[in-house]
Structure formats: C-alpha cells, structure tokens
Structure 1
Amino acid sequence: MRLANQTIVIIGGTGGIGRSASLACLQEGANLVVVGRQQQSIAAAQRCFDDHHVSDKVWVLDGDAAESATAEHAVQEAVRVFGRLDALYHVAGGSGRKFGDGPLHELTDEGIDFTLRLNLASVLYSNRAATKQFLAQGDGGSVVNLSSVLANHPSPRYFSTITYAATKAGIIGLTRSAASAYATNNIRFNVIAPGLVDTPMATRAVGNEAISEFACRKQPLDGGRVGKPTDMDGAAVFLLSNESKFVTGQVIEVDGGWSVTEGNLPE
C-alpha cells in the first residue's frame, strides 16, 4: 500500500473532493484525522467510512478551517491518536458569492474579508500547524494544498468571483514560497488545481446549462465533462506519498484540459 502507516490530516475531508481523497488514502493504508464543518457532511462521511469498514483508521473532527485553532487541534490529535504526522492535505474552501464576492467593481467588504479568511487564511493556518510539527519531528513531511484552475486560467463570463480567484492564486504563491523555504528540512509543498468539479460548492455552475456546456468544451478529456471528485485522488495520493519524495513547489492542474483548451461557445 502506497500510504501504509502514514498519518495524514485532511482539512475539509468530509465532503466532495476531500471525502473522496479520504477514502482513497484509507484504501492505500493511511491513518487519517479528517476535519469537517457541517454536521450533515460529517455524519455522511462517518457513514461512508463505516460502510467501507475503515472507521478504525480515521478520526473525524468538527471544526471551522477559518479558525486558527482548528488546524492546531487536528495536528495535535493526529500525534495523540497515531503517534506522528506525515502529511497534510488542505481541501477546505468555498465561494464567497453570497457574502458579496463577485466582479471587482461590485465587491463588498464582507465578501472580500469572508473569502480571504475562508480560502487563504485557513490554508496559512493549516500549513503553519503542519510545518511546526514536521520541524519538531525532524524527518520531513508533505503538504498538499487545493487551489483552482481559475488561479491562472480565468473565465470571467461564467466565473467572476475575483476574490475567490485571488485566494486560489495566493495558495500557489504560499505553496511555492514555503516549498523554497523548507526544502532543506525535507518538507514538500505542492498544489492540486482542479477544473470544474461536481461538488456541493459547484452546485450553481453544474446546474446551469450554459456553464455545463462550456465546461464540456473547456474540459474535453474523457469525452468532455464536468470533473468528479475521484478525478483528484490519483494526484493527491501521489503527492502525499513517498512516491513524490523528489517533488516540491509544483502545481498539478487536474482540469480535464481546461488550461490548454479555448472552449469557446458560439454566441
């Protein structure tokens, strides 16, 4: 197994891309501390782990990633329950649209503050907590952060939340800076940047016929389709495992071809 006896904290691991990654890591032999925020999502994840008979390998916590204590507690629990920390996968994040994120000239202060805290401050908190533990252990570790294809390949016609895009670009800058700073400590930092994926956060986009048509053209791989959470699992397991022990500071765009395709729709 590729993650046998490795202890991984997954922030945002109870739904969507995070839950799929949790199952993939468990199937590869990992021990997990999984953090989720909504009780319904946490309960559904726990049932899923029970159904797969892996619940003895996973510790589920209720916590808000935008609060700094959440990541600190998750790392402490990983060490307490499983003895150490080997990797962190930060998936948690979301849209600030309903709080006022949007086109630059329409942004509200609340939309900016909420989205920055949810999508960027939360990553700083978790990466800080993991790095402190890795330094204390003295034998390295792996951090994987979830960004978005919109960080480098915008689509203003359908995805105009500019603070969201800024935070996702910020995650890439954070990750590369940390990768440079901690390479001599054998701590690796990498990014997965999905395209449009069918998750609870993407309900608006996936349910919009025009956006779905656009996505099928913009993401032409596998017949042209919206992504699935499981599409991210291979990259996540690779980057979290020792298979990527010579890889740091990289962005893997798991986007169905979004970043290399025009995807233009006829007017």
Structure 2
Amino acid sequence: MENTYYKNKAVLITGGAQGIGLGIAQAFAREGAKVVITDADEEAGKEAVDRLQQQKLNIEFIKCDVSAEHEVATLMESVGEKYKMLHVLINNAGIADPFMGDLEQMLLSEFDKILGVNLRGPVLCTRYALPLLRKADQAAILNITSTRAFMSEPNTFAYSASKGGLEALTHSLAVSLAEDKIRVNAIAPGWIETGDWQKSSQRYQPQHSKEDKEQHPAGRVGTPEDIAEAALFLCSDKAGFITGQSITIDGGMTVKMIYV
C-alpha cells in the first residue's frame, strides 16, 4: 500500500541544499510532501532544486541566513503566503567545520558565528514558524544535532557547545510546545558521508579505508539516507508518542569502549 502520510504536506528544511539536509529533502519529496529548502548558499540551493526537480519532485528553494532574524521572518512569511501552514520544520542548517584551534587563539567572532547559525538559527526558525505549525494537525519539529554534543575531539568548542545546546533546546521545546500539539525530537548523526550530496563545485567521490568502515560496529560509514529514513519516521504519526527525544545514528560508534 502506498504511504500517503506526507502527501501535500508542507515541509521546511533549513540547510537543505547539500549534505544531510538534501538527503532529507529528497526523502520527504518522494513521499509526496511539498518541500521548501532554505540555505545561505544560493548556488547550492539552485542546484539542489534542479537535481530534485529532474526527479519530478515538488521542491522549491528560498535563500536565507537562519542566524539573521529579519531573513527568518521573511522566510516564514513567504511559506505562510503559499502554504498557509507548516506540518514539519527540520532545523538542519549548521556550520559543519568543528575545529577552531587552540582556545587561547580562538576568535570570539568565529565562536559567535557558529552558535549564531547552529543554535540561534533553530530558535529563530522555531519562533517564527510557530503560527504556521499551530495551524497544522500533528505538527513536528526535528533538530539535527551531532554525536559531538556528547563527546569531543580537542578544540571543537563552538561546534560541540552549539550541538549540546540544541539537544537541550529539543527537550525544552517539547515540553513548552506540548499544549500546541507540536512534537519536538532530535537526531544526532555520527560520521555521515556527504561527498555525493554537495554542489557540483565541491562534490567528490568518497573514499573510505577498511579501518574507516570497520571502526563502526555497523561496518560502514553512514549516508544521508540513513538520517532521512529516521526523519520520516520521527515526523510521522507513527511516532506520535515520541517527543523530547534524541536518537543517535552513528553506526554504533558512541557505544564502543575504547582503551589505549
């Protein structure tokens, strides 16, 4: 039987022009959703729309810097004018480079920039999307965090802090928006290979060593499709009793005991 849950439902995905966001956008569009992707990279956004429209999928792109309040407000006005309501908001946009160098040499402007996109962005998007989400039946918000919210490599201060904050924001929003019947959950990806999901000027053929694969209990590196399938479930009525939760999708890496 054909799954029609998302048919004609409005879905907004921030940072949807490349990587995990693009994989999620493709998955929702294939389920019949009316997908809007937003991204600060206009080149990537236009390429993403061309890529998915060639598959005859319903998708459009709106340029937006999610850390800028006026741009987010304008974005939600545009979505509201066209779709009247929003069924799913996926806060995926983020500055992905986690390494900042030595703490004493770190530029506070760079720290603020990362938190501005990775944490302030989801707050702004959720705030301005609320009137649209309230109009939908069984609305859902999904935050894309990271396993770096729970563990760290050296000198990843801003990225780890932003993703840890987004984890906390997830359960706070779930409780705060419960009366609006809006569920809020998170996915914390581990190593997800996005080489095939970049704009053409940055696309590359992934090369993974045997060690890269075998360090994962699952025996491989993750893909955007792995995240997208979980997103489809968490935002659907099948997950109607799940809210305020974070699901780690990392091939088992964070459950390994490692001794030196």
TM over 0.5: yes
Aligned to 2:150: 152
Whether 2:224 is the aligned partner of 1:229: answer yes
| Deviation of 1:185 (Å) | 1.8
Distance 1:196 1:118 in 2: 21
Aligned to 1:125: 124
Post-superposition Cα deviations, 1:98-147, rounded to whole Å, max 9, x if no partner, equal 8xx34434422122111111211111111112223334x27451100110
Query: Contact 1:214–1:263 (CA<8 Å) still a contact in 2?
Result: no
Whether 2:49 is the aligned partner of 1:46: answer yes
Whether 2:67 is the aligned partner of 1:66: answer yes
> Quick one: which of 256, 260, 266 aligns to 2:255?
260
> Quick one: which of 240, 244, 248 aligns to 2:235?
240
Query: Contact 1:5–1:29 (CA<8 Å) still a contact in 2?
Result: yes
Query: Contact 2:38–2:61 (CA<8 Å) still a contact in 1?
Result: yes
| Deviation of 1:217 (Å) | 4.4
Distance 1:216 1:81 in 2: 44
Aligned to 2:217: 220
| Deviation of 1:40 (Å) | 2.3
Query: Contact 1:6–1:31 (CA<8 Å) still a contact in 2?
Result: yes
Distance 2:178 2:102 in 1: 37
Q: Is the alpha carbon distance of 1:19 and 1:208 closer, same or farther for their aligned partners in structure 2, counting shifts above 3 Å?
A: closer
Q: Is the alpha carbon distance of 1:95 and 1:232 closer, same or farther for their aligned partners in structure 2, counting shifts above 3 Å?
A: closer
TM-score (norm 2): 0.86
Q: Is the alpha carbon distance of 1:138 and 1:197 closer, same or farther for their aligned partners in structure 2, counting shifts above 3 Å?
A: closer
Amino acid at match of 1:34: I
Query: Contact 1:13–1:22 (CA<8 Å) still a contact in 2?
Result: yes
Amino acid at match of 1:37: A
| Deviation of 1:97 (Å) | 5.6
Higher mean Cα deviation, 66-75 or 169-178? 66-75
Distance 2:251 2:111 in 1: 29
Q: Is the alpha carbon distance of 1:3 and 1:172 closer, same or farther for their aligned partners in structure 2, counting shifts above 3 Å?
A: same
SS at match of 1:34: strand
Aligned to 2:10: 7
Aligned to 1:112: 111
RMSD: 2.7
Post-superposition Cα deviations, 1:229-253, rounded to whole Å, max 9, x if no partner, equal 1110111111222222221000011
Higher mean Cα deviation, 72-81 or 165-174? 72-81
Distance 2:242 2:253 in 1: 23
Post-superposition Cα deviations, 1:161-220, rounded to whole Å, max 9, x if no partner, equal 1110010000011111010111122111100100011236999xx9898xx776534422
Query: Contact 1:96–1:111 (CA<8 Å) still a contact in 2?
Result: no
Aligned residues: 251
Distance 1:234 1:189 in 2: 17
Query: Contact 2:49–2:60 (CA<8 Å) still a contact in 1?
Result: no
> Quick one: which of 180, 188, 195 aligns to 1:185?
180
Q: How does 1:137-216 map to 2 (within 5 A)?
A: 137=135, 139-156=137-154, 160-199=155-194, 215-216=212-213
Amino acid at match of 1:90: N
SS at match of 1:59: strand
Q: Is the alpha carbon distance of 1:213 and 1:116 closer, same or farther for their aligned partners in structure 2, counting shifts above 3 Å?
A: farther
Query: Contact 1:218–1:262 (CA<8 Å) still a contact in 2?
Result: no
SS at match of 1:26: helix
Aligned to 2:244: 249
Query: Contact 1:96–1:115 (CA<8 Å) still a contact in 2?
Result: no
